[in-house]
């Protein structure tokens, strides 16, 4: 068999892009196949928060990986700009995770203690202190946790930077090419069948997000991966209303370039539908006004929806297929795929190079048959 590629990646989201980049950087001959347009699903819809501490509570098995990935961004943003010219709009101004009730306040203080005991930086700010930094926020907010290290990027720009950098380093990228199944020879994955014929490679990596379950069933693997829809919208203001990202229960406000604020996001399980519902947007608007009353006067720009890949136990699957050598899987990053993309790309490249990666033991594929929780 004449193998043309060192690695064939299925899925052109941020995970596929990152894996392609890290493999191409190591001199591997890479082909990436995307059934639609690149980053047209979850990765293009994301808010771009690097919320290691805002999204995870310190005792999650994902916390160490999330922190390591967050630390990669300052250097990565420069590296991707140098290779591709694409600016991922990395902003490192921190986040406020705020409380709107006394119950939320004590829950947040508890999380803060856990994180501080684990050696992380987190600081409680009173309502008065918060309003000094963010004078437009509601006076009803009961204070919040200041997380200095949780920054943000532009999610569409990050994906674009990974694809373009991978291409500069020699990766081939094909859009509108759906992978229908894997090709196996004995117990080894050797290629994929697509709309556009068969392609052969030494390693195949399934990074096709919420769609992984269906494709991997064809290899006998029953992964518990399911879609969770999220809706967001953009508004524009003449003068900046926020300095930092504001994260609260059920709503976040992320200040973006061009005077925009990204408001997100709804959480609707078990649907691949990506229509934006009036109900979803109305709920978000109410929550946004509770946090930042003057947002009511902002100019409407647009709304969209994406499909997060969630798993049965809330942890991603990153590892090699238990039966077929050379078939790797990297999916199920749910709410944190933008944050986790650099570390996933780097460690998946290590797996492909047959390195031992103990950090990924907890995310292996032998935990595939678990009940769905939502
Ligand atoms: P996707 O981006 O969905 O990419 C998978 C790709 O595979 C798709 O393009 C699909 O078309 C393709 N595909 C599927 N099947 C096939 C096939 N058979 N052949 C070829 N191609 C195929 N994360 C953060 O870290 N921070 C955030 O602030 C954040 N905000 C979010 C806000 C919203 C509203 C949403 C929806 C998500 C958010 N996320 C955030 C989560 C993040 O977007 C996801 O975890 C991440 O994008 C998943 O990336 P992926 O590459 O695995 O999946
Ligand atoms: N991480 C934000 C979201 O998934 O909505």
Q: What is the per-residue pLDDT across 152-189, written as a single tens digit (0 to 9) for each?
A: 999 999 999 999 999 999 999 999 999 999 999 999 99
Under DSSP, is residue 228 helix (H, G, I), strand (E, B) or coil? Answer: strand
Strand spans (E) along 68-178:
95-98, 123-125, 144-147, 172-174
- Tell me if the domain spanning 91-150+226-311 has CATH number 3.30.70.1150: no
Looking at CATH, the fold of the domain delimited by 5-54+156-224+312-369 is given as FAD/NAD(P)-binding domain (3.50.50)
Q: Is residue 54 within 8 Å of residue 97, measured between CB atoms?
A: yes
Radius of gyration (C-alpha) of the chain in whole angstroms: 21
295-317 pLDDT, tens per residue?
999 999 999 999 999 999 999 99
CA dihedral 174, 28, 169, 196 (to 10 degrees): -10
Domain limits, CATH 3.50.50.60, in the chain? 5-54+156-224+312-369
- Shortest-distance Cα residue to atom 2 of ligand 2: 335
The pLDDT of residue 355: 97
Tell me how far apart the alpha carbons of residues 171 and 324 are, in angstroms, rounded to a whole number. 24
Ligand nearest to the CA of 205: 1
- pLDDT tier at 367 (50, 70, 90 boundaries)? confident
Residues 205-228 have a mean pLDDT of 95
Strand spans (E) along 312-358:
317-320, 327-331
Mutate to test the pocket of ligand 2, among 13, 14, 43, 47 (most ligand atoms within 8 A of CB): 47
- CB within 8 Å of 329: residues ≥ 6 apart: 205, 206, 207, 212, 216, 221, 223, 317, 318, 319, 320, 321, 365
The pLDDT of residue 118: 85
Residue carrying the six token digits 């049965």: 312
CA distances from 70 to 20, 148, 256, 287, 303 (A): 19, 12, 19, 28, 27
Residue 316 near ligand 1, beta carbon < 6 Å: no
The pLDDT of residue 372: 40
Tell me how far apart the alpha carbons of residues 248 and 236 are, in angstroms, rounded to a whole number. 21
- Shortest-distance Cα residue to atom 34 of ligand 1: 230
3-41 pLDDT, tens per residue?
599 999 999 999 999 999 999 999 999 999 999 999 999
Report residue 88 as tokens. Answer: 């991922």
Mutate to test the pocket of ligand 1, among 160, 208, 233, 343 (most ligand atoms within 8 A of CB): 208
Between the CA of 204 and the centroid of ligand 1 the distance, in Å, is 19
Domain limits, CATH 3.30.9.10, in the chain? 91-150+226-311
Ligand 2 pocket at CB < 6 A? 47, 49, 55, 230, 264-265, 308, 335
Bridge pairing between strands 123-125 and 144-147: antiparallel
Is the pLDDT confidence value at 95 over 60? Answer: yes
Is the pLDDT confidence value at 258 over 60? Answer: yes
Q: Is residue 157 within 8 Å of residue 164, measured between CB atoms?
A: no
- pLDDT tier at 371 (50, 70, 90 boundaries)? very low
Q: Residue 304 CA: which ligand 1 atom is closest? A: 34
Q: How many CA atoms lie within 13 A of 348 on its CB side?
A: 37
């Amino acid at each position: 068999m004449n193998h043309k590629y060192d690695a064939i990646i299925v899925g052109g989201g941020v995970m596929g892009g990152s894996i392609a980049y890290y493999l191409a950087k190591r001199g591997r001959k890479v082909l990436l196949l995307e059934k639609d347009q690149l980053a047209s699903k979850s990765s293009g819809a994301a808010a771009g928060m690097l919320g290691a501490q805002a999204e995870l509570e310190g005792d999650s098995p994902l916390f160490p990986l999330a922190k390591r990935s967050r630390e990669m961004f300052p250097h990565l943003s420069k590296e991707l700009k140098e290779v591709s010219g694409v600016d991922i709009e990395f902003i490192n101004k921190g986040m406020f995770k705020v409380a709107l009730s006394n119950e939320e306040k004590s829950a947040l203080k508890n999380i803060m203690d856990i994180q501080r005991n684990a050696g992380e930086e987190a600081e409680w700010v009173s309502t008065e202190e918060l309003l000094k930094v963010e004078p437009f926020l509601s006076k009803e907010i009961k204070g919040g946790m200041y997380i200095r290290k949780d920054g943000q990027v532009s999610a569409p720009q990050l994906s674009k930077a990974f694809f373009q950098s991978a291409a500069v380093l020699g990766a081939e990228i094909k859009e509108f090419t759906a992978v229908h199944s894997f090709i196996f020879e004995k117990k080894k994955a050797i290629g994929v069948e697509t709309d556009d014929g068969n392609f052969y490679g030494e390693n195949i990596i399934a990074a096709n997000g919420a769609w992984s379950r269906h494709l991997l069933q064809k290899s006998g693997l029953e992964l518990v991966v399911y879609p969770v829809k999220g809706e967001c919208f953009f508004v524009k203001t003449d003068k900046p209303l926020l300095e930092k990202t504001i994260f609260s229960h059920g709503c976040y406000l992320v200040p973006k370039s061009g005077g925009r604020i990204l408001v997100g996001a709804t959480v609707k399980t078990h649907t691949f539908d990506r229509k934006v519902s009036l109900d979803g947007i109305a709920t978000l608007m109410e929550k946004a006004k509770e946090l930042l009353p003057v947002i009511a006067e902002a100019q409407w720009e647009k709304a969209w929806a994406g499909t997060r890949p969630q798993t049965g136990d809330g942890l991603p699957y990153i590892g090699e297929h238990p039966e077929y050598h050379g078939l790797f899987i990297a999916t199920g990053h749910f709410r944190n795929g933008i944050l986790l993309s650099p570390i996933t790309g780097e460690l998946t490249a290590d797996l492909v190079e047959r390195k031992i990666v103990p950090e990924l033991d907890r995310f292996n594929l032998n935990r595939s048959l678990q009940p769905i929780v939502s």
